[in-house]
Amino acid sequence: MKVLIAGATGLIGNHLLHFLLENSAITEVVALLRKKTDLKNEKLNQVVFDFDKEENYKNLGDFDAVFCCLGTTIKKAGSKENFLKVDFQYPLSLAKHISTKQFHIVSSMGADETGFFFYAKTKGKIEEKLKGLKIETLHIYRPSQLEGNRKEFRLGEQISEQIMRLFSVAIPEDYKLIQAKTVAKAMLNNTFKTEKGTFTHFSGEIKTIANKTKD
């Protein structure tokens, strides 16, 4: 299988990239990056990519699966406009212009295009846009708060994580903390499923997919 991944240096994307490279069924991995990493692998093709230029997407070719792990925060992006580029426009451009049998995207718990909060509203809007493209197989992942080693420190998430750990027993499965690595493994495992259609996966199901399906 020839696959493409955008967001390979992020919390989930980094785990997914390694899973893809380690899997014998994956023959080529094209990673779209702002700048190349030091990672070396005979299956890996690192492409320095300008996500703002629409014509760039049309020259990438065909893929068996596309994985979109792009995501930011308004604070990191610097403005709502820049946030929309990363979390809405770039994923939409990937889906519209790249020929693929499967499209996998990391969304967020609480995504709702009619919602009040800008972040959740944006996530909901991209989900609905992707559904409207009639992709043969669309996998949407809505994980709860992620556990993992982020490159940047987020105080609010650190506090929330500690509280969630403390009351873990009382929290429903879909709302419990989930390892970024678990989401990545579920994305890999879903790549080999034959069912066609649109699927939305919440944390509880994501954990099941990651744990029960063998590599």
Would residue 119 show up in a list of annotated catalytic residues for this protein? yes
Render the burial of 29-67: b for 16+ CB within 10 Å, e for the rest: bbbbeeeeeeeeeebbebeebebeeeeebeebeebbbbb
> Catalytic one among 119, 121, 129, 175?
119
138 beta partners: 103, 198
Tokens 């419990």 belong to which residue?
Answer: 176
Contact 56, 34 (CB under 8 A): no
> Catalytic one among 123, 125, 181, 185?
123
Give Cβ neighbours of residue 112 (< 8 Å, ≥ 6 apart).
Answer: 120, 121, 123, 124
Per DSSP, 137 falls in state: E
Would residue 214 show up in a list of annotated catalytic residues for this protein? no
Tokens 């997919």 belong to which residue?
Answer: 209
Residues annotated as catalytic are: 119, 123
